[in-house]
Structure 1
Amino acid sequence: MQLDVLQAARCAEPFNLLGPGQDQSGGWIRAWLPGATDVSVLELASGKHLGHMQQQSGSALFELVLPQYQQVPLYALEITTLDGKFERIDPYQFKEQAYHAVHFVDHDPQNVYQQLGAQLLELDVGLDKTIRGTRFAVYAPNALAVSVIGDFNWWNDTAHPMQKTSLGYWVLFVPGIAAGTRYKYALKDRQGNSLPHKADPVGFQAEQYPSHASVVYEHAKYIWQDEAWMSRQGWDPYHQPMSIYEVHLGSWRRKLSGNGSVFLSYRELASVLLPYVVEMGYTHLEILPVSEHPFDGSWGYQPVGLFAPTSRFGNPDDFKYFVDQCHQHGIGVIIDWVPAHFPEDGHGLARFDGTHVYEYEDPRKGWHPDWDSCIYDFGKNEVRQFLVASALYWLDKFHIDGLRVDAVASMLYLDYSRKDGEWIPNVDGGNHNYEAISLLRWMNEEAYRRFPLAMTIAEESTSFAKVSRPVFEGGLGFGFKWNMGWMHDSLHYIAKDPAYRRYHHNELTFSMVYAYDESFILPISHDEVVHGKGSLLRKMPGDEWQQAANLRCYAAFMYGHPGKKLNFMGNEIGQSSEWNHDSSVQWHLLDYDKHQGIQLLYQSLNRLYCQYPALHQCDHAATGFEWVDHQNSEQSILAFVRKSLDSRQKIYVICNFTPVPHQGFRMGVTDAGHYKVLLNSDDAQYWGSGYSDKVAYISEQQTWHGKPHSVQIDLPPLATLYLIYEQID
């Protein structure tokens, strides 16, 4: 029976069969060693030869009886194979060390990545000796058997059977396994059928196709240099500027190789992307998902490794270096995190042990019709811990500053993208997924409690209440929410021919009705410049000059509007074609004055936004905004004022969304004094018409727009102006 289960890789309790043991007649050692022709046992402390092991029935099972020992000492095996002789410390003498992995996993979500996966250990065994190796632990509650396989055992699924615990985890400590070792898990389902070899769900490093192997990784090796950033005082994202540059690392810039182009590495990106971000005046980088994923075309939104930065661009140390360099240059790093769904790739989480371990079993809850992917079982304790642990892991081990959580709406609603009869109502008969709501609240509470300087951001496209309000106020607990309504309405408006914009004026003003219901980020993201939607520049109507002018006018309107800012790469240079993940941003366009001008405008907007408190301090407070004129639909003109927290600094924003200039256009103002032009998106340096070169205006004591004073402005075509009030002494 022992031989049968070992030979068939169906051994669930190898510690009962292998390693040291004793009975009334003394001690014994058993070892399962496929490929061995001769085996000797050496006492580990002294190197003393304890004897030759006897091969059992011509199998890979070897045994040595030690009647003189009531307790077998620590030992090593001297193994002879057809390829030579080598020494190995038997893993099956470390039962206690293996079991230690699962004692505390359910006590704290951080224990998932501190205990599970491949953990490098150094065991003190006395006599001034230590044993280094790796403890493997994986959750597969319904598997008949699990083995760890890798380069160290020639990927033989009979060589290292793991021990099943009562909690459904499988464990084994293997001496001699160092960082850099490749491994996977070989599982048998409950009927004994072999499953595809699985990558480690809590693996910290992974390989690309074709192996998709996990790699043992040592987190402690990297020495961080970002202490000043991580310990900064007074960081308050709500009252400080936040201009986010959204980037797909694989296509921001590529390098030529042979007949094509290849990715830049994390370290190469640090040397070229980071200086660009600093020069352009952005405060944060947001990176499309870096979690390991098998398919380039998913952009990372179909991840299989929620604990491993993708190896497309380097190893985890390289990614740490990238983040470290960002922090040393004052740039925060946000990553897209995808807890909503995962793909069916054979080496991944789908039917991990032959059953639905990670996903809902019923396809009405467990299958996503939009993305042909599996939906996590948000009600299962182990899955909930796994997901919360992943969120904390990126904040902890990689010093990430923010998590932008993808596809939140699909998690909140049971009927998301489903027809009648294709979804299961909750216990109250409604469409809210209470389990997902509970999970998101828990994740946000844990993230903010443990990492107070970090932030979470929801991509949520519905009117679900209090997404960015604290859990104790009945909210989901996110720090911010993408303002998808503003994005949709404003892009719909700006795409209209100016002659028809008068009929859509409310699309620009409606966002202020709900602007303070949530803590909003205004996103012009990758989703708006792909799949036939065209680039931001090509959404604009008119001839070449008008398209560029519309884009500049719109960008300046966005930076004046309340809410933090997010722009996808390429927007800032007026890229002409929509985003293609297989090629670089069209940097060659900067050879032309038009695109240089657009880029310079974005740089100016970032710097003004960061420099002037009125443009950012009250992004989320109604006291920081006041309409001057929101009813001028006939001329498609908007005017409003932004105020600093103390209301002393006032910046007036006036937008002309038609190609008709207005000389002497009167705008009401509150205070008498000088009004300096901070920005004119029609300035010649931005490839504008240069219609007006005035740098300041003086108010007149003439009531207008309900204000006691007014200024007469030369308002350029398709332009946005910023005017700052300067008091006369």
Structure 2
Amino acid sequence: MIESIYDDKGLDKYKPVITRRHEKFEQKKKLLANGSSLSDIANGYLFYGLHRYPDKWVLREWAPNATEIYLIGDFNNWQQKKEFAFYYTYNGNWELELPLDILQHGMLYKLWIKWEDGAGERIPAYCRRVVQDDVNKIFSAQVWTSNYEWKHARSKKVENPLIYEAHIGMASEEEGVSTYIHFREKVLPYIAKMGYNTIQLMAIQEHPYYGSFGYQVANFFAPSSRFGTPEELKELIDEAHRLKISVVLDIVHSHAVRNETDGLSRFDGTFDLYFHDGERGMHPVWNSRCFDYGKNEVLSFLLSNCKYWLEEFRFDGFRFDGVTSMMYYDHGIGRDFVDYSMYYDGNQDEDAIAYLTLANELIHELNPEAITIAEDVSGMPGLASPIRKMGIGFDFRMAMGIADFWVKLLKTKFDEEWHVGDMFYELTNKRKEESTISYVESHDQAMVGDKTIIFRLLDSLMYTDMNVFKRNPKVDRGIALHKIIRLATISTAGDGYLNFMGNEFGHPEWIDFPREGNDWSYKYARRQWGLEKDTNLRYHFLSEFESAMLKVIKKHSIFSSRPFAIIQSTKEQILIFKRKNLIFVFNFSPTKSYTDYAFEIDRGTYRIVLNSDDSRFDGFDLIQMDYNYITQPEKGKNILRLYIPARSAFVLHKTE
């Protein structure tokens, strides 16, 4: 009998489906590897594409429907010439050999592919360098021969990621596209100083439309040339490793851009080379192409892509985007996953589930220290559980419902109506066997059309009342809630925490990439770091609180235990819980402070190690920090009494 990972008896009747899915993964693995390891067969990027050998250039491509293929570029005036014609080898593969003196570093090139009833320019599927023409905005492949010498060892595995989600292009204060160099020199030191141990880099895989946030990928093996060269990206990752920071790639294997001349769609004239044909091959919301995970060639392409980023760029793992869309035929659109039957009702793409399992096995085989994170809103059982126990193999799942919870609370409830019992449940609701990453807001909440937490709290006051020379009660409320919401989220988190670039200091603007509707402006596609550095403004208090919060969380390794609630008083809006030797105290009441608030706790002496009301964080210093809080025996119990100001939170550490 194959072991099930689930202690939940509600899954018992679905064991046959779980077993079948696991067996499908095993069958695919056996078929692809044929007795070898997955890492031995995920080498497509070493075979396909353009390669320089000691005595020649070789370019290989998979295009089974092609009748002719030519290499065109700078070197032949973009003409189809006989000496640049590929020859057919086997199983849909084409090959071209050229003398070394024909191609030089920096030259531009493309493929001209002919099929029975048509032809078109294409960029090689495994191309590692793609650039855009400044005048005509046309993308071309580029010959690239530079190398990078690594200076620092890879990062060790991060057991509890504290993630800084970042976008290279919008990481500068300047209105324009920023660079790998700028990020390495200016942003990396800040991330290290703040206390994050992981960076999640978005929009690295080349994408034609900048405003897609990198989620409409055309060239899966090419790091975006908008931000610089491959070597500059490697130098960024190398420097992060020197700073003991892991770097995770936000990888997009859930779909691909529908562009044909610079993407994979209709690559050899057929619509179903890499993707499903017909309606199933088009994503109904994203207007993009959906991979056919049942085809071995597609599996090889995507697995090779995973290995490429791990081996060539030394990424420390991946955050897989759009996992929900991959796993369900309807992409999970408009569905609330309210019971287990919705995970096993035939709406699941078991080919996609098999691919995700294969990818996780490959990644951890290549680098046991790597981490994988699933962006999934459905809550598929076993998604973040070991493969050996019939899981899909991700190390972590994004706890996406937590961000939705905070938004709903702020939109629908007055402060006086916040139910701390419901809050604690929502923040801690997870399967015991899976690890999760909690967050208040990611890039999703920062996009134009949505609102960040600080924008929901302050709205237009962000522009008028954030100076330190006057007090506005509405701003005081917003800053206080911004701090305690983030502390509540990280202190109840299952196994890790995420923050999007700039949100830690309450960045006042939404994200709006250049587009026709804003006259192609970069005004909102940047981060205004100067606001955080200006001590005449109140933004820096929020980043200072975030940094102090991260330091407490790391120092006391709270993720090695689960939060245990002591008090959940709806009437008083008091939430107190224990985690290891820390006591987290929250008063969400907007008006009521409590004197000598009593509760039972382990006997001992406690001191405050973090206080949201500290004047260092723009608080009012209503709590005495340099004080020993000692339990007192009362009726056979050890009682601690505290003064808990309204709309504040603090953390106590047991010292004796």
- Structure 1 and Structure 2 fold alike (TM over 0.5): yes
Residue 134 of structure 2 corresponds to residue 218 of structure 1: no
Q: Measure the CA separation in 2 of the matches of 1:432 and 1:297.
A: 30
Q: 2:105 aligns with which of 179, 189, 192?
A: 179
Q: Which runs of 5+ in 1 are unaligned?
A: 1-103, 123-130, 256-260, 421-425, 644-649
Q: Name the amino acid aligned to 1:696.
A: Y
Aligned to 1:80: none
1:243-285 per-residue CA deviation (whole Å, 9 max, x = no partner) reads: 1111111112143xxxxx3222211221101111111111111
Residue 59 of structure 2 corresponds to residue 120 of structure 1: no
Q: Measure the CA separation in 1 of the matches of 2:543 and 2:284.
A: 39
Q: Name the amino acid aligned to 2:566.
A: V
Residue 161 of structure 2 corresponds to residue 242 of structure 1: yes
Q: Measure the CA separation in 2 of the matches of 1:254 and 1:276.
A: 14
CA-CA distance at 1:369 after TM superposition:
0.9
Contact 2:172/2:182 (8 A) holds in 1: no
CA-CA distance at 1:536 after TM superposition:
2.1
Contact 2:201/2:248 (8 A) holds in 1: yes
Aligned to 2:227: 313
Aligned to 2:373: 457
The DSSP-based 3-state class of the residue aligned with 2:498 is strand
Contact 1:498/1:658 (8 A) holds in 2: no
Q: Measure the CA separation in 2 of the matches of 1:107 and 1:578.
A: 42
The DSSP-based 3-state class of the residue aligned with 1:668 is strand
CA-CA distance at 1:504 after TM superposition:
7.0
CA-CA distance at 1:360 after TM superposition:
3.5
Aligned to 1:559: 490
Q: 1:521 aligns with which of 437, 445, 459?
A: 437
CA-CA distance at 1:149 after TM superposition:
1.4
Aligned to 1:676: 607
Contact 2:324/2:332 (8 A) holds in 1: no
Structure label with greater radius of gyration = 1
Q: 1:535 aligns with which of 452, 458, 465?
A: 452
Question: CA, structure 1 residues 573+325, in 2 after alignment: closer, same or farther (shift >3 Å)?
Answer: same
User: Higher relative contact order at CA 8 Å, sep ≥6: structure 1 or structure 2?
Assistant: 2
Q: Measure the CA separation in 1 of the matches of 2:37 and 2:66.
A: 19
Contact 1:666/1:710 (8 A) holds in 2: no
1:164-189 per-residue CA deviation (whole Å, 9 max, x = no partner) reads: 12210111111122433321110012
Residue 513 of structure 2 corresponds to residue 586 of structure 1: no
The DSSP-based 3-state class of the residue aligned with 1:554 is helix
Q: Measure the CA separation in 1 of the matches of 2:276 and 2:190.
A: 47
Q: Measure the CA separation in 2 of the matches of 1:274 and 1:670.
A: 41
Q: Name the amino acid aligned to 2:139.
A: H
CA-CA distance at 1:216 after TM superposition:
2.4
CA-CA distance at 1:509 after TM superposition:
2.0
Q: Measure the CA separation in 2 of the matches of 1:686 and 1:483.
A: 27
Q: 1:628 aligns with which of 544, 566, 577?
A: 566
Aligned to 1:330: 244
Contact 1:677/1:723 (8 A) holds in 2: yes
CA-CA distance at 1:302 after TM superposition:
0.3
Q: Which has the higher strand share?
A: 1
Q: Name the amino acid aligned to 2:299.
A: R
Q: 1:493 aligns with which of 389, 393, 409?
A: 409
Contact 1:522/1:566 (8 A) holds in 2: yes
1:116-147 per-residue CA deviation (whole Å, 9 max, x = no partner) reads: 1011111xxxxxxxx2x321011111111111
Contact 2:206/2:223 (8 A) holds in 1: yes
User: How many residue pairs were aligned?
Assistant: 579
Aligned to 1:194: 119
1:402-436 per-residue CA deviation (whole Å, 9 max, x = no partner) reads: 2000010000000225699xxxxx9x971000110
Contact 1:180/1:215 (8 A) holds in 2: yes
Question: CA, structure 1 residues 534+695, in 2 after alignment: closer, same or farther (shift >3 Å)?
Answer: same
Contact 1:470/1:477 (8 A) holds in 2: yes
CA-CA distance at 1:586 after TM superposition:
2.5
The DSSP-based 3-state class of the residue aligned with 1:262 is coil
1:376-396 per-residue CA deviation (whole Å, 9 max, x = no partner) reads: 111111111101111111111
Residue 69 of structure 2 corresponds to residue 146 of structure 1: yes
Question: CA, structure 1 residues 673+361, in 2 after alignment: closer, same or farther (shift >3 Å)?
Answer: closer
Question: CA, structure 1 residues 678+498, in 2 after alignment: closer, same or farther (shift >3 Å)?
Answer: farther
Q: Measure the CA separation in 2 of the matches of 1:677 and 1:642.
A: 14
Q: Measure the CA separation in 1 of the matches of 2:332 and 2:428.
A: 29
Contact 1:254/1:263 (8 A) holds in 2: no
Q: 1:375 aligns with which of 268, 273, 290?
A: 290
Q: Name the amino acid aligned to 1:141.
A: P
CA-CA distance at 1:533 after TM superposition:
1.8
Aligned to 2:385: 469
Contact 2:607/2:625 (8 A) holds in 1: no
CA-CA distance at 1:105 after TM superposition:
14
Aligned to 1:304: 218
Residue 322 of structure 2 corresponds to residue 407 of structure 1: yes
Q: Measure the CA separation in 1 of the matches of 2:598 and 2:107.
A: 69
Aligned to 1:23: none
List aligned pairs for 1:426-445, cutoff 5 A: 430-445=346-361
Question: CA, structure 1 residues 134+696, in 2 after alignment: closer, same or farther (shift >3 Å)?
Answer: farther
Q: Measure the CA separation in 1 of the matches of 2:312 and 2:293.
A: 24
Question: CA, structure 1 residues 491+312, in 2 after alignment: closer, same or farther (shift >3 Å)?
Answer: same
Q: Measure the CA separation in 1 of the matches of 2:499 and 2:322.
A: 18
Question: CA, structure 1 residues 107+687, in 2 after alignment: closer, same or farther (shift >3 Å)?
Answer: closer
Comparing 438-447 and 539-548, the one that deviates more? 539-548
Contact 2:415/2:590 (8 A) holds in 1: no
Aligned to 2:170: 251
Aligned to 1:76: none
Contact 1:535/1:579 (8 A) holds in 2: no
Q: Measure the CA separation in 1 of the matches of 2:410 and 2:433.
A: 24
Aligned to 1:708: 637
1:180-236 per-residue CA deviation (whole Å, 9 max, x = no partner) reads: 332111001223x222x11111011110243311122336x2100012x45x5xx4x
Question: CA, structure 1 residues 153+108, in 2 after alignment: closer, same or farther (shift >3 Å)?
Answer: farther
Question: CA, structure 1 residues 502+198, in 2 after alignment: closer, same or farther (shift >3 Å)?
Answer: same
The DSSP-based 3-state class of the residue aligned with 2:98 is strand
CA-CA distance at 1:517 after TM superposition:
4.2
CA-CA distance at 1:515 after TM superposition:
5.3
CA-CA distance at 1:495 after TM superposition:
4.8
Aligned to 1:90: none
Q: Name the amino acid aligned to 1:194.
A: A
The DSSP-based 3-state class of the residue aligned with 2:113 is strand
Residue 631 of structure 2 corresponds to residue 717 of structure 1: no
Question: CA, structure 1 residues 438+249, in 2 after alignment: closer, same or farther (shift >3 Å)?
Answer: same
Question: CA, structure 1 residues 672+308, in 2 after alignment: closer, same or farther (shift >3 Å)?
Answer: same
Comparing 676-685 and 264-273, the one that deviates more? 264-273
Q: Measure the CA separation in 2 of the matches of 1:550 and 1:604.
A: 16
Q: Measure the CA separation in 2 of the matches of 1:270 and 1:183.
A: 30
Question: CA, structure 1 residues 419+580, in 2 after alignment: closer, same or farther (shift >3 Å)?
Answer: closer
The DSSP-based 3-state class of the residue aligned with 1:696 is coil
CA-CA distance at 1:356 after TM superposition:
2.3
Question: CA, structure 1 residues 594+367, in 2 after alignment: closer, same or farther (shift >3 Å)?
Answer: same
Contact 1:498/1:657 (8 A) holds in 2: no
Aligned to 1:480: 396
1:30-80 per-residue CA deviation (whole Å, 9 max, x = no partner) reads: xxxxxxxxxxxxxxxxxxxxxxxxxxxxxxxxxxxxxxxxxxxxxxxxxxx
CA-CA distance at 1:510 after TM superposition:
3.2
Q: 1:606 aligns with which of 537, 550, 566?
A: 550
RMSD value over aligned CA atoms?
2.4
Residue 616 of structure 2 corresponds to residue 692 of structure 1: no
Contact 1:534/1:577 (8 A) holds in 2: no
Q: Name the amino acid aligned to 2:570.
A: S
Aligned to 2:81: 158
CA-CA distance at 1:496 after TM superposition:
5.2
Q: Name the amino acid aligned to 1:625.
A: P
